[in-house]
Amino acid sequence: MPASSLVDVKHQLTFYGAYHDHPINVLIHMIFVPAILWSALILGSHAPWPDFFPQLHLTFGNYFAFDLNWSGLWVVFVGIYYYFLEPTAALIYTPEWLVIGLNAAAYARKPDGLKNALLLHVASWVAQFSGHFFAEGRSPALLDNLLGALVLAPFFVHLEILFKLGYKPQLRENIHQSVKQTIADIKTSEAQAKKKEL
C-alpha cells in the first residue's frame, strides 16, 4: 500500500465501509465501537510498561486521568493520525476522543476496572460479529486488516454520524460510490473463486 493512501480518507474509509454497508451493522457499530475502544484502552492500560520508560500519571478530577502507557500513546498517536485523514472531522471528534481516552485511564485504576472492561469488551465483540455475519453477510474487516480496522473503526463511526447530519455531502457520496464498487468487485471475485472450485 502506498504511503499516500494511509492519509487518503476516501481510500481508508472505502476499505472500512466495504465491510460496513448494511444499516443494521452500521447501527451496531455506532453503539459498540465506542464501547470496544473504551474497554480496550482499559485493558491496554494493564499491559506491562518497561521500567526504563518515563512514568507519568496525571489526574483531572475523579473521572479523568492520563497515564503514559500503551493506551495513552494510542490515544495520542491515533488522534493525530485522524487529523491527517480529515482535519475538520478530527477537530470535531477530539473532545469525544479525549473524554473516552481520559475516562478509560481513570477507570482502569478502579479495583474492578479490569474485570468490568473485559466483560464489556467481550460482549461488544459478540455484538459486532453478529452484525457482520447476520446483517452484513461478511467477515469483519479485522480479519483482513487488523490494525487498519482497529484504527479506523472509531473515526468511521464518527464520520457516519457527521454524514447523517449533512457533513461534506460530496465526500459522503464519493465514499459511498467507491464502497459500492468495491463490494461489487469483491462479490465478482468470490463468484469467480466458487466457479473455479466446481
pLDDT 10s digits, 1-49: 455 567 777 877 887 777 776 778 788 888 999 999 999 999 999 999 9
| Model pLDDT for residues 120-161, shown as the tens digit of each residue | 999 999 998 887 777 666 666 665 566 666 788 899 889 889
Q: In the predicted model, what is the mean pLDDT of residues 172-194?
A: 82
More confident residue, 141 or 197: 197
Residue 33 contacts residue 142 (beta carbons within 8 Å): no
The number of distinct structural domains making up the chain is: 1
The answer to whether position 197 is within a domain reads no
Average pLDDT over residues 62-82: 95
Does residue 26 lie within any of the structural domains? yes
What pLDDT does residue 2 have?
Answer: 52
What confidence score (pLDDT) does residue 87 get?
A: 95
Half-sphere exposure of 192 (CA within 13 A, CB side): 6
The verdict on residue 34 lying in a domain is: yes
pLDDT confidence of residue 16: 74
Provide the whole-model pTM: 0.84
- Please check whether residue 196 lies inside any domain of the structure: no
Residue 70: the pLDDT is 95
Predicted confidence band of residue 83 (pLDDT cuts 50, 70, 90): very high
Q: What is the pLDDT of residue 146?
A: 64
Return the pLDDT at 180: 85
Say if 149 falls within a structural domain: yes
46-56 burial, b for 16+ CB within 10 Å, e for fewer?
A: eeebeeeeeee
Considering the chain, what is the average pLDDT of its residues? Answer: 86
> What distance in Å separates the CA atoms of residue 30 and residue 28, rounded to the nearest whole number?
5
C-alpha to C-alpha distance for 197 and 93, rounded to whole angstroms:
46
Radius of gyration of the CA atoms of the chain, in A: 18
Judge contact between 102 and 108, C-beta under 8 A: no
Q: Whole-angstrom Cα distance, residue 173 to residue 189?
A: 24
Please give the residue range of the domain that contains residue 174.
6-191
Q: What is the pLDDT of residues 94-119, one digit of tens each?
A: 999 999 999 999 999 999 999 999 99
Query: Is 140 among the domain residues?
Result: yes
In a domain, 171, yes or no: yes
- For residues 68-74, give the mean pLDDT: 96
Mean pLDDT (whole number) for 80-87: 93
64 falls within a domain? yes
